[in-house]
Structure 1
Amino acid sequence: MATLVFIAAIALYLSMRDELPDVNSLKDIQWQTPMKIYTHDGLLISQFGEKKRIPLTLEQVPQQLIDALLATEDDRFYLHFGVDPIGMGRAVLAKLMGQDKGGASTITMQVARNFFLTREVTYTRKIREIFLSFHIESLLTKDEILMLYINKIELGHRSFGFGAAAQVYYGKEINELTLPQIAVLAGLPKAPSTLNPIRSPERALARRSVVLHRMLVSGYIDEATYQEANAAPITGERHGAQIELSAPYAAEMAHQKMIALYGKEAAYTNGYNVFTTINSKLQNAADTAVTNNLLSYDQRHGYRGPILSLRPNLRKQTENNNSSNAPHDTNINTSEVDELTLDEINQALTQVEYDQGLVPAVVTTVLENSAKIALLNNEQGTIPWEGMHWARAFINDRKQGSPPKSANEILTYGDVILVQKDSDANYHLSQLPQASSAMVSMSPDDGAIKAIVGGFSFKKSQFNRVTQAKRQVGSNIKPFIYSAALEQGYTLASILNDAPINQWDKSGDDVWRPKNSPEEYIGPIRMRQALAQSKNVIAVRLLQGVGLDGIINHLTKFGFAPSDLPRNESLALGSASLTPLEIATGFAAFANTGYLISPYIIDRIENSEGEIIYQADPLMACNPCAAVDATNENFDSMVNIDNDVKLTEDSIMTEPESVVLQQEAASNTSSHVIKSAPRVISAQNAFLITEALNSAIWEADWSGANGWQGTGWRARALKRRDIAGKTGTTNEAKDAWFSGYSRRLVTTAWIGFDDPSRNLGQSVYNSNLDREQIVGGEFGGRSAQPAWIAFMKEALADLPIEPFQPPTEIVSVRIDKATGKLTNKTDRSTKFEYFRLGKTPTEYVTKDTSDEILNGTETKTEVELF
């Protein structure tokens, strides 16, 4: 009989042999692991891929997990040859007796099924599973088979393998789990979708008890350990990847580029580790700066009321009371209002959208100058008067209500609101901003993006305003207009007429009257001062002097697409629509002495084995560029990047085929000559514009009747002389900008509404707040620059002071401030000015233009050559 069974088995095997998969692939298995994206300094910012897997080695697996799996799934694993005759016989007998409880599959058989077969319940599939198990046992060691099982098995919630399951259910590394948690995971292979602690804690608890009991019976744990573990409460909740830094817009940019380079399937499953150019400190600073600035803008324009009210009639009563001219009733009767229930509060809180440190709360008590609130997880808190007294009513973008005098003018019992918690554990009333903002900061030396914030909340809107939002740039365009003028023979001392322009517009059959903002005119003015004060009419006169074609040709050198540059004189006032990334890249040419760099977000890519398979090769702002030592830890192996710089989001995401890393060539080289970015303006031009933009921050002159200071004066708070920058505001204040830089960092900040029908408006003084508040019309210096200052305060702290150095062929001579001519005087009517060699004034001033003579001694003209 036994011989017949053996012969039948051989015959069956021979008939199926050609249909069986080749198990040799298990010797070199490539685990499908998700793509992880990191900052330059190694902090995880995102993970992409449907299958969550953290491959483990045998040494990384806790012995208790191995014990639990053997006791539960295959207690004779190390004794059988792939099929357990005892278990198989027990299963067959139970089947014949009508008591089919499974139990015949060994760990090896489960590996065969998970890698090569389906889960269909048929005799054919079972037979193939047995034959494959024999093959696997002949090819691999027991430990190798066990590790295939541990890393492959599906365990629910898209987790594959126990490393991923530990993260998904407990947010821990596998070696951090307790025995009760290990027992829960060890019980999942039987039915991961129904036995997991998230979907069914009760079933998970019962299954855990089975696992622990089998461990006890098998001798892996003693009675005391069993009792303690079995009595532990069931735990487990959904955890994502352990994100160490919030940089979702940067992560999405890297994500899209990875898909462009490798395709979605490979990008999501090959376990790539992507290291971006993002600096974690700067990213945190940018995120905080944008968030706080938006909240500040939003709050000075007024409180829009609760998200919803759980007691709408009471809320209506409060609103009617507040809108009347009668004295406010500070003791609105709530005794007849139904008391809020815990379920009602929790249900409301779980429905609220929130982000960026704002959390939902329900108002449970309103006192005269404070309010009590209920938060998630049954937490209670208080909003003091100082946390809500900003909240005068929002009427429209240009108008706010009167400052509140008591808490019940603001809040009502049952209001569902958003609050912030400060460092002192106090709560402050807040709201989601309706305005949007963006910031990008990068190295002007090579275009590495150090920080990027594409909006207030990525969860709310994945639209990246840094790369996708083309907004009118206002006066941020003027440095480029002035740069074109310098190329045509103008100097920083050139005198232009700051006077109204009335020009017939043939196309519109109307008179075009560009105006200064504020609408003030002072007559003859030097070009340096005009840029520092952002004089609109001077920008128009310079465009007229250079010519529209000449201006557009010059602007395209900075990477601006001609199609984005209107072919009319409004271009001088900033009617062009550009992205913050394009603006920052343009400003980088002034910071780096004249080179057009190409922004990039990915520094390197490593495969699942930690081998570098891609390394960025940025064009550098240097000419000639020196060779670098490839063995230096800061060396970036080089690949070719197209010199045709197009500053769209696509250009950051997708690179030509030549960008694929030539790993073999990179590993065999000991030095590399860095490739130079294209020079687009001279070092002298870049330096002179930088000087004028430094004046926009630091220069002031109150000696005459027309005293002035630069529009970027607020940046003096940084106490750094080695910075330059420019404000920008569009018509009706729909967009506000500030772009500025040091020698090593260029940053652009923007604020506005996604809704083009809204403008930034204005705010009036709130007597409840201290005197240091922003009031009046919103524009670049008030609305965008505070975010830039807050960011640069943190960013510059790690950068040494590095003054902008005059290049060769720059001279400095003393001029008369009123006329721009040479002078022999040394009083307040004079100053030193920089000129390109050969462009210095040739005439001396003949009329006394000084307001105050400090030193009547005449001296020879002072000239310094650089």
Structure 2
Amino acid sequence: MLKWLTRLFLFGVFLILCGLTAIFVLYQQVKTELPDVSTLKDVRLETPMRVFSQDGELISQYGEQRRTPISVAEMPPLLIDAFLATEDARFYEHPGIDPIGISRAAIVWLSTGEKRQGASTITQQVARNFFLSREKTVIRKVKEIFLALHIETLLTKDEILELYLNKIPLGHRSHGVAAAAQVYYGKNVNELSLAEMAMIAGLPQAPSVLNPISNPRRAAERRAIVLGRMLETGKISRSEYDDAMASPVAARYHGAEITLSAPYLAEMAHQFALSMFGAEAYTQGLSVYTTVQADEQRAANAALINGLLAYDLRHGYRGPEATLWQGSPWSADQILQHLDEQPSYWPLEPAVVTAVAERGATLLIKGKGEVRLDWDSLKWARRYISDSRQGNAPRQAGDILKTGEQIWVRPQGEGWLLAQLPEINGALVALEPASGAVTALVGGFNFTLNKFNRSEQAARQMGSNIKPFVYSAALDNGFTLASMVNDAPINHWDAGSGSSWRPRNSPNVYDGPIRVREALARSKNVVSIRLLRDTGIPATMQRLNDFGFNTASIPATESLALGSPSATPLEMVTGYATFANGGHKITPFVVERIEDAQGQVLYQAQPVTQQVISAENAFLITEALNSAIWGGVSDGRRWNGTGWRAGRALERKDIAGKTGTTNDSRDAWFSGYAPARVATAWVGFDDFGRPLGRTAHNPNLGADQVTGGEFGGSAALPIWIDYMKVALKDYPEQPRRMPENLVTVTIDSGSGLRTDGQGVAEYFVQGTEPRRYGRAGNSQQFGGTSITDELF
């Protein structure tokens, strides 16, 4: 018997030696093909590019993979327990491979012929995920084992686990537990419940088919297995198990945690990063910090959207989005299910009318349930006939709404207001004038509806927004703010066309001789043409070129004085920044810096400026544009500038600006600035040929309503004001500094000549001040108020 036992022992030793020899031979065969696992010491997990505001709020995220690497210390112990209980219960005991697990899997395979149990440890999965393919071959498995053994000698168990839990794909483009927690539950990992942790821990086996969004039933079954393993291994109690098993499968897809909406600007930053780093920008974990301030961007968003919705409201109600029923009404559950499938476009939410009373209506609103609209929320909605015609004011709710209609509503105070998706569009862009850093940018009503970025892509006719540049050229060619120019009709015969060109003021009123300051502030068209004639088209074109406008596409005709050339809002605000900063041309930029995943700065903006007009010229134009806000006195007559609403709303003396409206009111502009900010607002239809139209008085609304034509002062200026209220709140009013080469002279406001009596102070470049004396004593006698010019 002892003899047979000895033989059996020796045979066992022989088999072990054979096995070790086989392993050695296999290792020698594959060792040259094994990758260097030391790279795991400095591994860089692929992470998406993120775009932030200057103050750190997330604007957007770009990249195929969603991943947020975190340390083991940041992971809840129960989440780790859930993965270990399911994937590798002896992880902290084995050396990288689990002989017990391998033996168990082999016995099952030999006895049944089926591969029912996996034998890969977490370390082996790390080896496979980082270095190997997923092909099911013996040689790949051998490599996986050797790599796992190498990894265990190089890294600690916690380091291996951290790599695994950050690398593993978990469905819906999420990689790693932190990304999965956000994608499925919109939470940080430390906010997950036990049931949610178990759900995520069950995903590695088959994330595409076991995830709770694609297949809630199978996901719940897999969760039960994970919870059962946690109960078996003593990681949770029976009561915790029961509570988690009873939890509903409540996962839904969550996008990146966007905390600041600036999609048009985010796309500009995205394209900038791509131009610098190529496709690698999507995987290097870049942090792109833009120049926008979060509070200013939010103010810009609200200002543009409210301005467009206000325009839309006064032009009338175009009717429901759809009619869901006309006979038997839908049930509340049917309506709510339908609404859940409809998009929302902030601040508009879809709703369905369920009942209409005489002076109100009952609605079901997406995500809000049942709400009643009172008469004040409806009474604005007279019928839209055309952009220039509205129907009669409604008398009861039935004139506006019917049951079964799907409509749009928006929040207003504590309640809701009937609304509609606007057909009008617009843009708002603001800069820091000294550097060119974009502090806020909105390229349209809604990025999801239309990704066309009107702030940088929509070249529209400039209208009277061009006039400060024309006047700037005139001031360098013999004119002063006190120069008198004849505000009288022009009738120019064109022999080539056989017709006359008769440009008009708007309104069609002429004041005769008028000072340059007043002419710009009140936007006198014929004066602008006369200045262009005296300055010369070549000199004016050169001045436009100095400000950065593309003069190659501008026809060299007198119509350019009225704004026939086109520019984007970004080009326009860049031009006005030159006046605001004392004569320097800036280059606008939206990316302040780019950092890699370790926080190292890869790119830092270096603003460059160039002096293109004198400080004196910039100061004088600013003075005239300040009069466009605050008005002035001429020959005893008090007059208002075209931007008077800004002065009334902001109550600051350090602001300047100019309205602009094109022919037939197809484009409405306001560009203006204070020392700290310059901004341009534009409003128009994407259809170039569609005028902004007119509105009649709505008797259902109060006295404070916009009526008549839609111009720069009524459509664009309110948007600029609402933004500037926030943008300037932390900047005290600053008096303008007069350049050294300017002098102040008291002039007669009616003639522009020097006076020793009562008059108004005017600024002149030294040597250009008037020598002659004019009348005196009438400048403080206000003979009435001029017509407020709205159009141009």
With the shorter chain as reference, the TM-score category is: over 0.9
Q: Distance in 2 between matches of 1:848 and 1:769?
A: 46
Query: In 1, are the aligned partners of 2:666 and 2:690 still within 8 Å (CA)?
Result: yes
Q: In the alignment, which residue of structure 2 is the partner of 1:845?
A: 774
Query: In 2, are the aligned partners of 1:473 and 1:729 still within 8 Å (CA)?
Result: yes
Q: 1:465 aligns with which of 438, 441, 454?
A: 454
Question: What is the 5 A alignment of 1:824-863?
Answer: 824-826=756-758, 830-845=759-774, 852=781
Summarize deviations over 1:812-857 as a string: whole Å, max 9, x none. 111112211112221xxx3111111000111112698669499xxx
Q: 1:727 aligns with which of 640, 659, 665?
A: 659
Aligned-pair CA distance for 1:289? 0.6
Change (3 A) 1:45 1:578: same
Question: What is the 5 A alignment of 1:323-472?
Answer: 337-342=327-332, 344-377=334-367, 379-424=369-414, 426-472=415-461
Q: In the alignment, which residue of structure 2 is the partner of 1:688?
A: 620
Aligned-pair CA distance for 1:457? 0.3
Q: In the alignment, which residue of structure 1 is the partner of 2:742?
A: 810
Query: In 1, are the aligned partners of 2:635 and 2:779 still within 8 Å (CA)?
Result: no
Summarize deviations over 1:392-450 as a string: whole Å, max 9, x none. 111111001111001111111110011012231x1111011101110011111111110
Q: In the alignment, which residue of structure 2 is the partner of 1:58?
A: 72
Summarize deviations over 1:292-321 as a string: whole Å, max 9, x none. 00000011001100001012xx4xxxxxxx
Structure 1: unaligned runs, 5 residues or longer = 315-336, 620-676, 855-866
Q: In the alignment, which residue of structure 1 is the partner of 2:642?
A: 711
Amino acid at match of 2:298: N
Q: In the alignment, which residue of structure 1 is the partner of 2:275?
A: 260
Q: Distance in 1 between matches of 2:169 and 2:101?
A: 23
Partner secondary structure for residue 485 of structure 2: strand
Q: In the alignment, which residue of structure 2 is the partner of 1:643?
A: none
Query: In 2, are the aligned partners of 1:443 and 1:450 still within 8 Å (CA)?
Result: yes
Q: Does 1:541 align with 2:470?
A: no
Aligned-pair CA distance for 1:803? 1.6
Q: In the alignment, which residue of structure 1 is the partner of 2:550?
A: 561
Amino acid at match of 2:641: G
Q: In the alignment, which residue of structure 1 is the partner of 2:668?
A: 736
Partner secondary structure for residue 551 of structure 1: helix
Q: Distance in 1 between matches of 2:224 and 2:635?
A: 86
Question: What is the 5 A alignment of 1:644-655?
Answer: none
Summarize deviations over 1:95-132 as a string: whole Å, max 9, x none. 12224212211111111111122222233322222222
Q: 2:689 aligns with which of 747, 750, 757?
A: 757
Query: In 1, are the aligned partners of 2:635 and 2:749 still within 8 Å (CA)?
Result: no
Query: In 2, are the aligned partners of 1:516 and 1:537 still within 8 Å (CA)?
Result: yes
Q: Distance in 1 between matches of 2:623 and 2:776?
A: 27
Q: Distance in 1 between matches of 2:345 and 2:381?
A: 20
Q: Distance in 1 between matches of 2:445 and 2:97?
A: 58
Q: Does 1:159 align with 2:174?
A: yes
Partner secondary structure for residue 744 of structure 2: strand
Query: In 1, are the aligned partners of 2:181 and 2:192 still within 8 Å (CA)?
Result: yes
Aligned-pair CA distance for 1:702? 8.4
Question: What is the 5 A alignment of 1:204-353?
Answer: 204-264=219-279, 266-311=280-325, 314=326, 337-342=327-332, 344-353=334-343
Aligned-pair CA distance for 1:10? 2.0
Q: Does 1:16 align with 2:6?
A: no
Partner secondary structure for residue 189 of structure 1: coil
Q: Distance in 2 between matches of 1:308 and 1:140?
A: 62
Q: In the alignment, which residue of structure 2 is the partner of 1:168?
A: 183
Query: Which stretch shows the higher mean deviation, 83-92 or 507-516?
Result: 507-516
Q: Distance in 1 between matches of 2:100 and 2:417?
A: 68
Query: In 1, are the aligned partners of 2:185 and 2:251 still within 8 Å (CA)?
Result: yes
Change (3 A) 1:351 1:207: closer
Q: Distance in 2 between matches of 1:848 and 1:510?
A: 46
Partner secondary structure for residue 304 of structure 1: coil
Query: In 2, are the aligned partners of 1:348 and 1:416 still within 8 Å (CA)?
Result: no
Partner secondary structure for residue 55 of structure 2: coil
Q: Distance in 1 between matches of 2:776 and 2:76?
A: 90
Q: Distance in 1 between matches of 2:482 and 2:644?
A: 21
Partner secondary structure for residue 10 of structure 1: helix
Q: Distance in 2 between matches of 1:611 and 1:64?
A: 34
Change (3 A) 1:782 1:852: closer
Amino acid at match of 1:142: K
Q: Does 1:775 align with 2:688?
A: no
Amino acid at match of 2:512: G
Q: Does 1:35 align with 2:24?
A: no
Partner secondary structure for residue 263 of structure 1: helix
Aligned-pair CA distance for 1:613? 2.1
Q: Distance in 1 between matches of 2:409 and 2:162?
A: 48
Question: What is the 5 A alignment of 1:101-140?
Answer: 101-140=116-155
Q: Distance in 2 between matches of 1:533 and 1:103?
A: 82
Identity of aligned pairs, percent? Answer: 52
Partner secondary structure for residue 602 of structure 2: strand
Partner secondary structure for residue 586 of structure 2: coil
Query: In 1, are the aligned partners of 2:122 and 2:164 still within 8 Å (CA)?
Result: yes
Summarize deviations over 1:464-515 as a string: whole Å, max 9, x none. 1111110001000000100000001100111111111111224533211111
Partner secondary structure for residue 5 of structure 1: helix
Aligned-pair CA distance for 1:363? 0.5
Summarize deviations over 1:637-696 as a string: whole Å, max 9, x none. xxxxxxxxxxxxxxxxxxxxxxxxxxxxxxxxxxxxxxxx21111111111101100001
Partner secondary structure for residue 243 of structure 2: helix
Q: Distance in 2 between matches of 1:603 and 1:80?
A: 49
Q: 1:509 aligns with which of 494, 498, 522?
A: 498
Q: Distance in 2 between matches of 1:555 and 1:421?
A: 44
Q: In the alignment, which residue of structure 2 is the partner of 1:633?
A: none
Partner secondary structure for residue 472 of structure 2: helix
Aligned-pair CA distance for 1:351? 4.8
Superposition CA RMSD, Å: 1.7
Aligned-pair CA distance for 1:20? 2.5
Change (3 A) 1:190 1:503: same
Q: In the alignment, which residue of structure 2 is the partner of 1:595?
A: 584
Amino acid at match of 2:390: Q
Q: In the alignment, which residue of structure 1 is the partner of 2:194?
A: 179
Q: Distance in 2 between matches of 1:8 and 1:692?
A: 92
Q: Distance in 2 between matches of 1:16 and 1:202?
A: 43
Q: In the alignment, which residue of structure 1 is the partner of 2:598?
A: 609
TM-score (norm 2): 0.94
Structure 2: unaligned runs, 5 residues or longer = 1-14, 784-792
Ranges of 4+ aligned residues in structure 1 off by more than 6 Å:
847-851
Q: Does 1:798 align with 2:730?
A: yes
Q: Distance in 2 between matches of 1:507 and 1:214?
A: 92
Query: In 2, are the aligned partners of 1:564 and 1:578 still within 8 Å (CA)?
Result: no
TM-score (norm 1): 0.87
Amino acid at match of 2:142: I
Partner secondary structure for residue 454 of structure 2: coil
Amino acid at match of 2:152: E
Partner secondary structure for residue 92 of structure 1: helix
Summarize deviations over 1:43-86 as a string: whole Å, max 9, x none. 11111111011111121111111111111111111221221111
Q: Distance in 1 between matches of 2:432 and 2:495?
A: 44
Amino acid at match of 1:732: D
Partner secondary structure for residue 148 of structure 1: helix
Amino acid at match of 2:772: E
Q: Distance in 2 between matches of 1:202 and 1:508?
A: 78
Q: Distance in 2 between matches of 1:208 and 1:482?
A: 73
Aligned-pair CA distance for 1:347? 4.9
Query: In 1, are the aligned partners of 2:329 and 2:404 still within 8 Å (CA)?
Result: no
Question: What is the 5 A alignment of 1:36-115?
Answer: 36-98=50-112, 99-115=114-130
